[in-house]
Structure 1
Amino acid sequence: MQLQRLFDEDSPPGVLAYEKSLYLDELTDEAIEVLAAHLPLMSSPMSDTPIFPLTGAYRSVPDGATAFGGSRKGGWLVNIAAAADQHDVYDAERARVRRFYEALRPHATGSGGYVNLMSNPEEELVRDTYGPEKYRRLQSLKKLWDPDNIFHRNANIRSDAV
């Protein structure tokens, strides 16, 4: 809960926001070069790029024991976020996030990211994030608890998807 509140002051209600995330096994020299090239390009003081180390208790839980997408082997989670209170600034920031993400993707672990840090994720990206076994398990739970897909304004797992 405290992690969720870290950004409340800088992200008041009504802010325009967009984000993408990805996992890195390591902060290699090449990945650091991409970060160093793109971080200074933010045009909104509301945008940020938190980088979370995935260590400690995170690594002690087996991959299949949670609904969390992504590997439990450790590494880094990079959240590239755009936020602005004006549409023209937001449009530029959203484009910047997409360029940054595409530049960092070759250094990423797989194609998925943290689902709570994805704006409008495609179904394939959500599937890749969870992996086939975990996605099927979550899909069966979705079919049981939300067969009409009422809860779909998120990184949605569709119960009717093949």
Structure 2
Amino acid sequence: MTEFINADDINDVILAAAANELEQMVDKMCELIGTPLEQTTELERQVMAAFGFGAVYGITHRDQLAEPQAHALSIRMLIKPFNYSEQQAVDFADDLIRVASDREVHPVMNTIIQRGIDGHRQFNQEDDEGLERNIQEILTAVQSQK
């Protein structure tokens, strides 16, 4: 008996792997900054989530995900590991997409997303030093703006 793998099953496997990769990256970021996610401030969590959205973009490009898959992956990342409610995650993902599409909407957040694209590359290349410097620079810059 021959089993067929359908496209939905393949997409589910790709999205599950991508979600796992994002969780590992967030865990690594928290390890590098020396603060567990549950001990970050709301501002730090938002910055790290925007940075993570840059990683979603990197994964989307690498794995050639369709727009709905990228959107679902963004929402999934905001729910787990960032612990936003479903509605918060949907709203935040929509904001991040808008910011990523138009730098003028929020130039600082757009820059954080762009740095997250670099951070994803650093994570995959196991460049912990570069990733730590990248996220620390952003957190320091944002905190000095308060």
Higher relative helix content: 2
Question: Which is higher, the Rg of structure 1 or of structure 2?
Answer: 1
Q: Name the TM tier (shorter chain).
A: under 0.3
What's the TM-score once normalised by structure 1's chain length? 0.26
